[in-house]
């Protein structure tokens, strides 16, 4: 299993992207975390912005398609798309994700 991280500039985009990802069966679950502050380097300056973090639960086989989907449906030119492999996952939870994503 993978947990994919991406951020959005506002809650509306976060929820819309989360819903589309699950409906497209690219992930079984997407959690939208509350507003946070991000500090990052962009266009020759350090920036500070409010963003929402999405935690996307999927399988490695879906990564490439999910990456393309996020890039096509995201408002950022270069959205964060970071995959964190899960070394341990409850068997029942992994089974649920696998079942949903196979349909």
Element (H, E) at 12: helix 11-23
Under the banding of pLDDT at 50, 70 and 90, the label for residue 103 is confident
> Residue 39, SS3?
strand
The pLDDT of residue 58: 98
101: which residues sit within 8 A by CB, 6+ positions away? 25, 26, 27, 28, 58, 59, 62
For 37-83, write each residue's pLDDT tens digit. 999 999 999 999 999 999 999 999 999 999 999 999 999 999 999 99
The pLDDT of residue 78: 96
Positive or negative, the CA dihedral 80, 83, 89, 93 is positive
Predicted structure pTM score: 0.95
- Catalogue all structural domains in the chain, each as residue range(s) with its CATH number: 2-102 (3.30.70.120)
Q: Which two tokens stand for residue 60?
A: 């490695």
């Amino acid at each position: 299993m993978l947990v994919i991280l991406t951020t959005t500039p506002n809650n509306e985009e976060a929820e819309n992207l989360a819903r589309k990802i699950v409906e497209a069966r690219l992930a079984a679950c997407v959690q939208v975390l509350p507003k946070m502050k991000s500090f990052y380097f962009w266009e020759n300056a350090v920036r500070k912005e409010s963003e929402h973090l999405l935690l996307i639960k999927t399988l490695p086989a879906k990564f490439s398609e999910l990456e393309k989907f996020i890039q096509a449906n995201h408002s950022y030119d270069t959205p964060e798309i970071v995959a964190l492999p899960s070394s341990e996952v409850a068997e029942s939870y992994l089974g649920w994700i696998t079942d949903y994503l196979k349909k």
